[in-house]
Amino acid sequence: MSMLTAHQLAASRHFEGPALTLAIPGSGKTTLLLHRLIYLADECDIPPEQILTLTFSKASAGDMRRRYDSLFADKYPYRFPFMTIHRFAYDILKQYLNGTGQKMQLLEDSRKKFAIIAELYRNRHQEPLTEDVYETLLNAFGRYYNLKLSESDVQAENGDQKNVKKTALDTYALFKAYHRYKKQHQLFDFDDMLLYAIKILDQNPKALAFFRNRFPFIQVDEAQDTSKLQFELIEKIAAPRHNLFLVADDDQSIYGFRGAYPQYLLDFPKRFKSASAYYLEDNFRSDAYIVDTAAGVIAENKVRYEKAMHAARPAVNPPAIHLFDDIIERNTFIADQLHTYSGSKAILYRNRISALSLIAALSDTVTDSFYIKDPPIQELSHWMIEDIKAFMTLAMIPQDLEAFKRIAFRTNGYISREMVNSVLNQISMRGALDRLIELPYLEDYQTRTLEGLKSRFEMLSRLRPYDAIHFIETDLGYLDYLRQNGERFGYTMQAIRTRLDAYKAIAKPLTSTVAFFSKLEALKETLVNLNQADAETTLSTIHGAKGLEFDTVFIIDINAHIFPSDDPGLLEEERRLFYVALTRAKDAVHLCHADFVNGGYNEASIFIDSVRRQDASETVSDSAEIKTASR
């Protein structure tokens, strides 16, 4: 076997009883887990099939199996079981259903699941379900399941925030309706697997004894991502011997929105008084500057295990902070810089909308191939970009009633529902705004307002796309509409401005509305056809990049009110997310911040200040230097 550090060797030799290994990024936790498997099988004579290794994701389970086969299978041809916790729960449920003859169907078709929830949502709200609301609902549903939250729990955790509480309780009611639907139609989804598996083991002592005997030794990888419900299932199988070996980093727990429960790790020594503790403190991945910076940042969290972090590599490149006027300037910088670095490169961001303008810039200027993990295809069909397109379409084609109907209430024209219906019920070749103006029951002031609106749409038809979006926001009142309805949509003004700024960045080099529409369609095609195999650069959310590593990393949109959000209860998890982003980098990390977003000052995140305190290097773009000097 390959050489292990003293810390890895000590942990790999753990035999019986509960144990927690705290492993910092790049410290070789997978290496540890694989060596421990060999130790248990080869030196402790534990049958390989009785040692279960559970992972957070299917990809991690597959990667662990591949790594074992490539490194050790020739000398140690054991067949160890690697699987996700959900897959393990599914095996329990499937065995039970086969034994009892009950018929239940796994709801794994994402389109069918969307259709079910969309229908329940429509019945409750009388409006269609959008992709972004659907994603929010799924995360909430998973959190309710995995933290075992009741309606009173949901009510209590939102305190006195009246509107937030109403939204949360409404989401919980939809969650219950979805659960009832599944029961009525004998369906179950991935979250149900855990609940059903626990229920089966509680009610069937023979089944519980079978699985305890089948897997007397359990290893859990990435245990910080495990939920309360998952831990309940794991503990049930591990009892009473508790040969439970967890490898985790509480500083990398970033899935609270899905129900991850890092508090379990903090409570582990209390739950198991005899538990052994091991520490992997050597980072073999990153430049020492990166390790020290990341350590300084995460030390600002209070609810965590204190741990040492040692870099095995020398200090060469301190993290760099780059300041720009806007995201167009930032995108140009990144596109140029990509050519100067060899090896693997990544551009990481908090929210998927951040990728849009970058994709447009890279597809125009970068000859190196790039790949997007979880491509934001739905962002190109987001209701806000569809609104922008409807404004532009009505300006080009005044007779387009679908475009008119979509944006009639989003302008500053004071158009009523009665007026819209009157226009839609007319049989005429006249433009929609002309039909409005000619309505016989309008007061003079209403007619003058609508004539002004028509004049502004005529002006809109003559503008380049970048200027057109700005005109829609300001002269046509769209930004006021978004500001007034932002809370209902679940968007802060910062998030709204970020989204509009991305659309403007795409539009900036284009000269016509047709070119803008064509560019959006071309971007969809680009996203569908990207090939990961040939990619030199990866674009990803930070969540999507967890577990990966790259030679060079650019982190973008580290903006106040977005990363971290304004919710103080999420600050420590958001800081953990930033820590994960920093520690993906091996050789160099660049933090890129635009001082202005959609024409307004864009305050930098407190995380950039955290990096500054670690003596990071800082640069500004040429125009930013001029701007600073002129203040």
Q: Which residues are annotated binding-site positions?
A: 23-30
Q: Which residue has the tokens 């705290």?
A: 22
The amino acid at residue 45 is: D
SS (H, E, C) 385-444: HHHHHHHHHHHHCCCCHHHHHHHHHHCCCCCCHHHHHHHHCCCCCCCHHHHHHCCCCCCH
**CA–CA separation, 297 and 613 (whole Å):** 9
- Angle, helices 228-238/131-146, rounded to nearest 10 degrees: 40
Whether the CB-CB separation of 526 and 465 falls below 8 Å is answered with no
* Residues of each annotated binding site for ATP: 23-30
Cα–Cα separations (whole angstroms), residue 601 to 85, 178, 597 = 45, 43, 6
How many other C-beta atoms can be found within 10 angstroms of the C-beta atom of residue 600?
Answer: 11
Q: Are 134 and 118 in contact (CB under 8 A)?
A: yes
Q: Which positions ≥6 away from 152 have C-beta within 8 Å?
A: none
Q: Tokens in use for 347?
A: 């551009």
Q: How far is Cα 373 from Cα 213, in angstroms, rounded to an integer?
A: 40
Residues 6+ apart with CB under 8 A from 275: 17, 18, 19, 20, 268, 269
Cβ-contact 144, 169 below 8 angstroms: no
Query: CA 391, CA 402: separation in Å to the nearest integer?
Result: 11
Distance (Å, whole) CA 443 – CA 65: 75
- Distance, CA of 338 to CA of 561 (rounded, Å): 28
Q: How far is CA 506 from CA 96, 395, 518, in A?
A: 54, 20, 11
